[in-house]
Structure 1
Amino acid sequence: MSDPVHERPVGTPLTDETWAGLAPSVLVSVARYDACRLEIERSGLAPGIREAVAEPVYSDWQLPGQYPISAYVNDLDGHARLHGAMGTLTREARSELSVLLAALDARFVSASVPDEEGELRPWLKPSPGDEPHGFRLRRPRRHPW
């Protein structure tokens, strides 16, 4: 079985350096959040399948060199979950990880522009009466789709 405290995300720039630099107590806080999140995800599964899911499943189903608009929307959702997760972590973890999240936010802003024409709005699926806000008002600087 895997050890989520010592695992790290893969496929992102600077991941090794960043993950290695986190305090052990921060890694424990993140692992605690991940375990809670996994239980929420497992709760919606049928009993026979639920027990088989022991850790999050990450898949990279898109073709190399392609970035569909659905992946962009999923990235926006993931970003919102990251910000939401910050409130559940310890103060030490929030302090250390907020620097990383701010750097991620800055990279996003530099790679995107305001979506003044609302080009992405049909894919954002906001709730009725809910207006897009924050990063959902931005689109990639160059269209990959």
Structure 2
Amino acid sequence: MAVVKELLRTESDGTLSFGDYTLASKTKLEDFEFQGNLYKVKTFAEITKLEKNGMFVYESVPGTAVENFKAEDGTVSFKVSAPKDVQFTLELEADSEYVVYMDGVNMGDMKTNLSGKLSVSAEMDEGKTVEVKIEKK
């Protein structure tokens, strides 16, 4: 998977791609309009963060490249790559249960905290892409 050199872009299938973990220093892009919302991305080797209308959406440590990010109707799906193991956090519905799938394998049920955050760890290798799908139960 290639990093997203534009930092944030719209894909032809109506999804978003963002993040460049190869950058040495924090780089950001603000006021990116997509489907009537304004997005902001901050990304570099140590962290990638996406906000929508000023609200938290996605964060990873270390930085990642995310392709085909789609969040709707209780489901979030995307492809993620990073040079090493990663932890990403998503803003979902508070105090709810979700099923987490990675590369089509059910990784189990997870519950969001009272603020709606769900954190997931993934084993990564340079050049490897993991397909993530998170569905509300």
Q: Could you tell me the TM-score, scaled by structure 2's length?
A: 0.23
More helix by share: 1
Q: Which has the higher contact order (CA 8 A, sep 6+)?
A: 1
Q: Could you tell me the TM-score, scaled by structure 1's length?
A: 0.22
More strand by share: 2
